Amino acid sequence: MATNLVETYACAPSTERGRGILISGNPKSNSILYCNARSVVIRYLDRPLDVAVYGEHSYPVTVARYSPNGEWIASADVSGVIRIWGTHNDFVLKNEFKVLSGRIDDLQWSPDGLRIVACGDGKGKSFVRAFMWDSGSTVGDFDGHSKRVLSCHFKPTRPFRIASCGEDFLVNFYEGPPFKFKLSHRGHSNFVNCIRFSPDGSKLISVSSDKKGLIYDAKSGETMGALSSEDGHTGSIYAVSWSGDSKHVITVSADKTAKIWEIFEDGTGKVTKTLGCTGSGGVEDMLVGCLWQNDHIITVSLSGTINLYSASDLDRQPLCLSGHMKNVNTLTLLESDEKTILSSSFDGYIFRWIPGTGYSGKLKRKDDSQIKCLVAFKEEIMTSGYNNKVWRISLDQEKSEQAEHIDVGSQPKDLSQAINSPVLALVSTDSGVLLLKDLQVLSNINLGFAVTASVIAPDGSEAIVGGQDGKLHIYSVSGDSLKEEATLEKHRGPISVLQYSPDFSMFASADLNREAVVWDRTSKELREMVSSLTRVDASNSFTKSNVLDNYGIQIHQSYIMRDITPVPGMKHLAMQGCEPKVLSSLNLHLLRAYYDIMKLVKLNNMLFHTARINCLAWSPNSTMVATGSLDTNVIIYEIAKPASNRITVKHAHPGGVYGLVFIDDCTVASSGEDACIRVWKIVQ
């Protein structure tokens, strides 16, 4: 068996308040590029679920641009490195250059595809540099800036020019190659955030935090005019983009609007259309990026939401594409009229995704604190985070802001809900667990050991608690009390995750030492036997022991059936059928280990990850279990087959896999540090 990637729910662009972001595209393939953390995202506007991600940078990526022929992409990061890689053949790396000594904020290809110009924070050295794309050799000197340069651009027609702007309020022109300083303008009174030549090479526009836009002659560099202040922006202008015919531009601003401007031959411009806020009007709806490509007009808000307009029908409601910006640490599936995936990220956002469709909305929350755990049942979810609170939230948007919560006194480690009795929940903390009923504390139990994970059975009758010592403690739940029934010792590291199978016949556990184990919870007789042997061991005597009378021969036969040599001394006793008075030489600890492996362990040797296991999930029919790890891989095991028959999805998520859920018996969704969600189809 193998897996095929069928869908990707892409992350949103990384944004920063008070700064514009730069998105670019390729009109030929109708795709766009944007950056999130260490990833470059390639997204196709006519196929939103067709997404590719390049994640080979060592530091957060700031900007990426297609080459003029669309065959190469240059991407830059905060360390001043530019990587040039192919758009085909698994993104093969062409070159890597250290261009600036600090963060790179913008880069552009020359129209002939032979040179690249980059700008940013030179940390006291050069703030702008142009170089040959194949050798890295410098092609000019760029003096004239005294502070961080925020944007630069190549004139798309000959004679070539380079323009730059930045935090020193300047707009500079350079001519070449080799390039040298020509002139400078100080027409702005605040940071100049973005500068762009028109596609026909006749004009240049700059926009600034002073709410103004200035237009220049692209060849001479002289000022021609400005955008009209009538019906203009009332906040900082962060980005600008030209239409393909060079007659219009779009600008986006902190005032939460985008404006379409008609640009006249004399270098002036007036507003022809204002695109209003599509959100609630909060700070997160400030617009920080834009792009005009073919018939598409794209705006990006501070929350990372991409609004996709049709340039030929601006009155039509835009298509909204959104996603997470931070590590997606939890996935869960809602079974309703249509299956819905719920995802939560470290920054506290909860999104809905519909398989086959993609983004389906963001859940509004009364509290915007970070989320660590999320469980869902029908039209309600429970969450816990880092502020000692457990929340119960309705999935009905009209009721979601009326959420209830309880303070459990310390940071929750894990959260699980009894599916068949959803009013009952189990919350684990550093040293114990809390039983909740209708968000009220039934009991707060100190277990006497460091707790790392926990789970409650679907019917609420049993709970399993994993510890820092790698042991699994099984408790029966009765009313508001827990009674320990057995302790299982198989793991060699702290338990990281626990989960029951949907049919309640098994449970799976995983640890920080990269091992996973599937246990058969129906072996109750054996568990009782282990417990009895442990109690008898305290007296160091088995004189006429009921334990051996009842189990002695049976134990030996169970080993014979599996061709396993029993514990020394046991074979003789079983074959003779005697009832010894003293068995002090019997190694009960070793015997207990045999029991665990031979009877309780359903699937063993799940040691194929190379780093800690962060998550696991069961298939709905309880025949498969999947594990996700910090090693970036997802491994899927069939319970009825040896672990060596596993399916491995390599490099599923750069930075690690943190969430897993089965959509159906043959489809699994995963999430990770790259803030993306991917759907994999298991095929024969």
User: What pLDDT does residue 473 have?
Assistant: 95
Q: Name the nearest CA neighbour of 296 among 283, 307, 282.
A: 307
Residues 6 or more apart in contact with residue 34 via CB below 8 angstroms: 13, 21, 23, 40, 41, 43, 64, 289, 300
3-state SS class at 35: strand
What separation, in Å, do the N-terminal and C-terminal C-alpha atoms of the chain show?
4
Residue 165 has pLDDT above 60, yes or no: yes
If one counts every other C-beta atom within 10 angstroms of the C-beta of residue 268, the result is 15
Tell me the C-alpha distance between 100 and 142, whole Å: 13
Strands 432-437 and 440-446, bridge-based pairing: antiparallel
Residues 6 or more apart in contact with residue 502 via CB below 8 angstroms: 618, 619, 620, 621, 622
Q: Name the nearest CA neighbour of 192 among 231, 126, 148.
A: 148
| Count of structural domains, the chain | 2
Which of 321, 352, 378 terminates a domain? The answer is: 321
Residue 330 lies in a domain: no
Question: For 527-537, how does the pLDDT look when each residue is reduced to its tens digit (9 = 90+)?
Answer: 443 444 333 33
3-state SS class at 477: strand
Sign of CA dihedral 552, 554, 556, 559: negative
Question: For 1-39, how does the pLDDT look when each residue is reduced to its tens digit (9 = 90+)?
Answer: 799 999 999 999 999 999 999 999 999 999 999 999 999
What are the structure tokens assigned to 422, written together? Answer: 């959803």
Give the range of the structural domain holding residue 304, as residue numbers without chain letter.
2-321
Helix 588-595, helix 524-537: angle, nearest 10? 170
Residue 126 has pLDDT above 80, yes or no: yes
**Amino acid at position 297, single letter:** I
Residues 6 or more apart in contact with residue 427 via CB below 8 angstroms: 384, 390, 408, 412, 414, 415, 433, 434, 436, 454
Burial (CB count within 10 angstroms: exposed 0-12, middle 13-18, buried 19+), residue 439:
middle
Number of H helices, E strands in the chain: 4, 55
Q: Name the nearest CA neighbour of 412 among 393, 394, 433.
A: 433
- Answer for the pair 21, 13: CB distance below 8 angstroms, yes or no: yes
Q: Name the nearest CA neighbour of 23 among 70, 68, 81, 65.
A: 65
- Answer for the pair 55, 39: CB distance below 8 angstroms, yes or no: yes
Residue 306 has pLDDT above 50, yes or no: yes
Which of 266, 287, 321 terminates a domain? The answer is: 321
Residue 431 lies in a domain: no
Residue 235 has pLDDT above 80, yes or no: yes
User: What pLDDT does residue 347 have?
Assistant: 87
Question: For 446-484, how does the pLDDT look when each residue is reduced to its tens digit (9 = 90+)?
Answer: 999 999 999 999 999 999 999 999 999 999 999 889 999
Question: For 372-395, how does the pLDDT look when each residue is reduced to its tens digit (9 = 90+)?
Answer: 999 998 888 999 988 899 999 888
3-state SS class at 506: strand
The structure's pTM equals 0.87
Q: Tell me the CA distances in angstroms from 169 to 91, 215, 332, one per residue in order.
A: 38, 15, 49
The stretch 295-300 carries a mean pLDDT of 96
Q: Tell me the CA distances in angstroms from 341 to 43, 400, 441, 503, 649, one per residue in order.
A: 21, 17, 29, 21, 20
Tell me the C-alpha distance between 375 and 394, whole Å: 12
Residue 633 lies in a domain: yes
Burial (CB count within 10 angstroms: exposed 0-12, middle 13-18, buried 19+), residue 391:
buried
- Answer for the pair 15, 302: CB distance below 8 angstroms, yes or no: yes
User: What pLDDT does residue 151 have?
Assistant: 97
Helix 546-561, helix 524-537: angle, nearest 10? 130
Residue 580 lies in a domain: no
Question: For 414-426, how does the pLDDT look when each residue is reduced to its tens digit (9 = 90+)?
Answer: 999 998 888 899 9
Residue 349 has pLDDT above 60, yes or no: yes
Residue 372 lies in a domain: no
Sign of CA dihedral 349, 343, 363, 406: negative
User: What pLDDT does residue 88 have?
Assistant: 87
Residue showing tokens 């250059």: 97
Residue 30 lies in a domain: yes
Residue 350 lies in a domain: no
Which of 286, 321, 356 terminates a domain? The answer is: 321
User: What pLDDT does residue 547 have?
Assistant: 35
| CATH code of the domain covering residue 206 | 2.130.10.10
Comparing 551 with 597, the larger pLDDT belongs to: 597
Task: Give the range among 124-138, 140-154, 288-302, 556-570 with minimum mean pLDDT.
Answer: 556-570
What are the structure tokens assigned to 506, written together? Answer: 């098994």
Residue 559 has pLDDT above 70, yes or no: no
- Answer for the pair 633, 657: CB distance below 8 angstroms, yes or no: yes
- Answer for the pair 672, 652: CB distance below 8 angstroms, yes or no: yes
What is the per-residue DSSP string for 397-429? TTTGGG-EEEE-SS--SEEEE-TTSTTEEEEE-
Question: For 213-227, how does the pLDDT look when each residue is reduced to its tens digit (9 = 90+)?
Answer: 999 999 999 999 999
Residue 541 lies in a domain: no
Confidence of residue 346 (pLDDT cuts 50, 70, 90): confident
